[in-house]
Protein backbone atom coordinates (compact mmCIF):
# COMPACT_ATOMS: atom_id res chain seq x y z
CA UNK A 1 0.00 0.00 0.00
CA UNK A 2 2.75 2.35 0.89
CA UNK A 3 4.49 1.54 -2.37
CA UNK A 4 1.34 2.37 -4.32
CA UNK A 5 0.95 5.71 -2.51
CA UNK A 6 4.58 6.52 -3.15
CA UNK A 7 4.23 5.80 -6.86
CA UNK A 8 1.06 7.87 -7.05
CA UNK A 9 2.73 10.82 -5.37
CA UNK A 10 5.80 10.45 -7.58
CA UNK A 11 3.64 10.41 -10.72
CA UNK A 12 1.63 13.39 -9.51
CA UNK A 13 4.78 15.37 -8.73
CA UNK A 14 6.28 14.63 -12.14
CA UNK A 15 3.04 15.74 -13.80
CA UNK A 16 3.03 19.02 -11.89
CA UNK A 17 6.63 19.77 -12.85
CA UNK A 18 5.96 18.93 -16.51
CA UNK A 19 2.81 21.06 -16.60
CA UNK A 20 4.60 23.95 -14.93
CA UNK A 21 7.39 23.91 -17.47
CA UNK A 22 5.08 23.61 -20.48
CA UNK A 23 4.44 27.36 -20.95
CA UNK A 24 8.17 28.06 -20.95
CA UNK A 25 8.81 25.30 -23.48
CA UNK A 26 6.06 26.61 -25.76
CA UNK A 27 7.20 30.22 -25.51
CA UNK A 28 10.74 29.14 -26.32
CA UNK A 29 9.52 27.35 -29.46
CA UNK A 30 7.37 30.27 -30.58
CA UNK A 31 9.97 32.97 -29.95
CA UNK A 32 11.98 33.82 -33.06
CA UNK A 33 15.59 32.74 -32.96
CA UNK A 34 18.22 35.42 -33.06
CA UNK A 35 19.17 35.76 -36.70
CA UNK A 36 22.34 37.70 -36.21
CA UNK A 37 24.87 38.94 -33.77
CA UNK A 38 25.34 42.68 -34.36
CA UNK A 39 28.88 43.97 -34.37
CA UNK A 40 28.95 46.64 -31.69
CA UNK A 41 32.74 46.58 -31.67
CA UNK A 42 34.08 47.46 -35.09
CA UNK A 43 37.71 47.90 -36.00
CA UNK A 44 38.66 51.31 -37.42
CA UNK A 45 38.82 51.68 -41.21
CA UNK A 46 41.99 50.31 -42.79
CA UNK A 47 42.45 47.71 -40.05
CA UNK A 48 44.11 44.43 -40.97
CA UNK A 49 41.43 41.98 -42.08
CA UNK A 50 42.60 39.23 -39.75
CA UNK A 51 41.67 40.36 -36.24
CA UNK A 52 44.46 38.38 -34.57
CA UNK A 53 47.00 40.02 -36.88
CA UNK A 54 45.46 43.42 -36.09
CA UNK A 55 45.74 42.87 -32.34
CA UNK A 56 49.33 41.68 -32.69
CA UNK A 57 50.29 44.67 -34.88
CA UNK A 58 48.64 47.33 -32.71
CA UNK A 59 50.89 48.74 -29.97
CA UNK A 60 48.06 50.55 -28.18
CA UNK A 61 49.60 54.00 -28.61
CA UNK A 62 46.21 55.72 -28.78
CA UNK A 63 47.11 58.08 -31.63
CA UNK A 64 44.14 56.98 -33.71
CA UNK A 65 41.75 57.98 -30.93
CA UNK A 66 43.45 61.31 -30.34
CA UNK A 67 43.18 62.42 -33.96
CA UNK A 68 39.65 61.08 -34.59
CA UNK A 69 37.39 64.13 -35.22
CA UNK A 70 34.13 62.60 -33.89
CA UNK A 71 35.96 60.79 -31.06
CA UNK A 72 34.36 57.52 -32.11
CA UNK A 73 37.44 55.38 -31.47
CA UNK A 74 37.45 53.80 -28.03
CA UNK A 75 39.98 51.51 -26.38
CA UNK A 76 39.52 48.14 -24.75
CA UNK A 77 40.03 48.50 -21.01
CA UNK A 78 38.23 45.37 -19.77
CA UNK A 79 40.18 42.53 -21.36
CA UNK A 80 43.68 41.68 -20.31
CA UNK A 81 46.65 40.41 -22.26
CA UNK A 82 47.04 41.44 -25.88
CA UNK A 83 43.58 43.08 -25.99
CA UNK A 84 44.53 45.91 -23.64
CA UNK A 85 44.16 49.36 -25.24
CA UNK A 86 43.17 47.92 -28.62
CA UNK A 87 40.95 50.39 -30.55
CA UNK A 88 37.36 49.69 -31.54
CA UNK A 89 34.27 51.61 -32.58
CA UNK A 90 30.78 51.13 -31.15
CA UNK A 91 28.41 52.69 -33.73
CA UNK A 92 25.54 52.64 -31.26
CA UNK A 93 27.42 55.31 -29.30
CA UNK A 94 29.44 57.12 -31.98
CA UNK A 95 30.08 56.06 -35.56
CA UNK A 96 32.98 56.48 -37.96
CA UNK A 97 32.80 59.34 -40.50
CA UNK A 98 35.39 57.68 -42.80
CA UNK A 99 37.79 60.62 -42.69
CA UNK A 100 40.81 58.29 -42.70
CA UNK A 101 42.85 60.35 -40.25
CA UNK A 102 43.42 57.35 -37.98
CA UNK A 103 45.13 55.49 -40.81
CA UNK A 104 47.47 58.44 -41.42
CA UNK A 105 48.89 58.51 -37.91
CA UNK A 106 49.12 54.80 -37.14
CA UNK A 107 52.82 53.98 -36.60
CA UNK A 108 52.41 50.29 -37.40
CA UNK A 109 50.67 48.19 -40.03
CA UNK A 110 47.59 47.73 -37.83
CA UNK A 111 45.87 50.56 -39.70
CA UNK A 112 46.88 51.41 -43.26
CA UNK A 113 45.69 54.15 -45.58
CA UNK A 114 43.01 52.75 -47.86
CA UNK A 115 40.67 53.97 -50.57
CA UNK A 116 37.19 54.80 -49.30
CA UNK A 117 35.52 52.15 -51.44
CA UNK A 118 37.94 49.50 -50.13
CA UNK A 119 37.05 50.06 -46.47
CA UNK A 120 35.33 46.97 -45.06
CA UNK A 121 34.17 47.33 -41.46
CA UNK A 122 31.13 45.15 -42.16
CA UNK A 123 27.79 45.89 -43.81
CA UNK A 124 24.55 47.41 -42.58
CA UNK A 125 21.66 45.00 -42.15
CA UNK A 126 18.01 46.01 -41.76
CA UNK A 127 15.41 44.18 -39.72
CA UNK A 128 12.31 44.98 -41.75
CA UNK A 129 10.03 43.82 -38.96
CA UNK A 130 11.15 46.79 -36.83
CA UNK A 131 12.16 49.54 -39.29
CA UNK A 132 9.47 52.28 -39.27
CA UNK A 133 8.87 52.56 -43.06
CA UNK A 134 8.89 48.79 -43.53
CA UNK A 135 6.11 48.28 -40.98
CA UNK A 136 4.05 51.26 -42.24
CA UNK A 137 4.67 53.39 -39.19
CA UNK A 138 5.64 56.53 -41.00
CA UNK A 139 8.42 58.06 -43.05
CA UNK A 140 12.00 58.09 -41.82
CA UNK A 141 15.00 57.92 -44.16
CA UNK A 142 17.54 58.98 -41.52
CA UNK A 143 19.89 56.17 -42.53
CA UNK A 144 19.77 57.15 -46.20
CA UNK A 145 20.31 60.84 -45.58
CA UNK A 146 23.32 60.37 -43.26
CA UNK A 147 25.29 57.88 -45.39
CA UNK A 148 28.59 59.40 -46.61
CA UNK A 149 28.68 57.05 -49.61
CA UNK A 150 25.23 57.90 -50.94
CA UNK A 151 23.04 55.61 -53.03
CA UNK A 152 25.76 53.10 -53.82
CA UNK A 153 25.65 52.12 -50.14
CA UNK A 154 22.03 52.68 -49.14
CA UNK A 155 18.94 53.98 -50.88
CA UNK A 156 15.23 53.46 -51.17
CA UNK A 157 13.44 50.44 -52.57
CA UNK A 158 12.46 50.72 -56.23
CA UNK A 159 8.88 52.03 -56.60
CA UNK A 160 8.90 53.02 -52.93
CA UNK A 161 10.51 56.26 -51.89
CA UNK A 162 10.43 55.48 -48.18
CA UNK A 163 11.63 51.91 -47.51
CA UNK A 164 15.46 51.80 -47.17
CA UNK A 165 17.60 49.05 -48.67
CA UNK A 166 21.30 48.47 -48.13
CA UNK A 167 23.49 47.95 -51.17
CA UNK A 168 26.84 46.23 -51.66
CA UNK A 169 28.68 49.56 -51.62
CA UNK A 170 28.12 49.85 -47.87
CA UNK A 171 31.42 49.72 -45.94
CA UNK A 172 29.98 49.43 -42.43
CA UNK A 173 30.88 52.82 -40.95
CA UNK A 174 27.80 52.68 -38.69
CA UNK A 175 26.50 56.23 -39.13
CA UNK A 176 23.11 54.79 -40.01
CA UNK A 177 23.10 52.93 -36.70
CA UNK A 178 23.96 56.07 -34.76
CA UNK A 179 21.11 58.13 -36.24
CA UNK A 180 18.39 55.47 -36.27
CA UNK A 181 15.48 56.84 -34.18
CA UNK A 182 13.98 53.43 -33.34
CA UNK A 183 15.16 52.37 -29.84
CA UNK A 184 15.53 48.73 -30.89
CA UNK A 185 18.00 49.76 -33.62
CA UNK A 186 16.60 47.74 -36.56
CA UNK A 187 19.71 48.64 -38.56
CA UNK A 188 22.99 47.16 -37.35
CA UNK A 189 26.46 46.44 -38.70
CA UNK A 190 27.11 42.74 -39.29
CA UNK A 191 29.72 40.64 -41.02
CA UNK A 192 29.35 40.99 -44.78
CA UNK A 193 28.49 37.34 -45.45
CA UNK A 194 25.33 37.67 -43.28
CA UNK A 195 23.69 39.90 -45.88
CA UNK A 196 21.76 43.15 -45.78
CA UNK A 197 18.41 41.88 -44.47
CA UNK A 198 17.76 40.10 -41.18
CA UNK A 199 16.37 36.66 -41.99
CA UNK A 200 13.34 36.99 -39.71
CA UNK A 201 12.52 40.36 -41.25
CA UNK A 202 12.48 39.42 -44.96
Could you give the CA distance from residue 166 to residue 28 in angstroms, rounded to a whole number? 31
| 11 has a pLDDT exceeding 70 | no
What integer is the mean pLDDT of 113-126? Answer: 95
Give the distance from CA 185 to its chain's centroid.
9
Partners of 47 in the β-ladder? 111
- The values of phi and psi at residue 55, to 5°, are -60, -40
What integer is the mean pLDDT of 159-188? Answer: 93
Least Cα distance to 42 among 191, 169, 200, 201 occurs for 191
- Which one is predicted more confidently, 53 or 139? 53
Least Cα distance to 133 among 91, 168, 161 occurs for 161
Could you give the CA distance from residue 106 to residue 61 in angstroms, rounded to a whole number? 9
Partners of 111 in the β-ladder? 47
Based on the number of CB atoms within 10 Å of its own CB, is 22 exposed (0-12), middle (13-18) or buried (19 or more)?
A: exposed
- How sure is the predictor about 20, in pLDDT bands with cuts at 50, 70 and 90? very low
State the average pLDDT for the chain. Answer: 83
Could you give the CA distance from residue 51 to residue 110 in angstroms, rounded to a whole number? 10
Query: Is residue 57 a contact partner of residue 110, using CB atoms and an 8 Å limit?
Result: yes
Q: Convert the pLDDT of each residue in 26-84 to its tens digit.
A: 333 333 333 334 567 899 999 999 999 999 999 999 999 999 999 999 999 866 567 78
Give the distance from CA 53 to its chain's centroid.
22
Amino acid sequence: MRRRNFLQKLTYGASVVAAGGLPYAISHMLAPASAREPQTYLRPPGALRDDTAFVNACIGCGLCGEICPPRCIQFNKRSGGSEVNIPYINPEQKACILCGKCTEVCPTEALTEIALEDVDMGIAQIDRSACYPWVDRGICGACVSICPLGEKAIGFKMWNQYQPIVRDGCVGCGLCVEVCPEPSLPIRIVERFKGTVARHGV
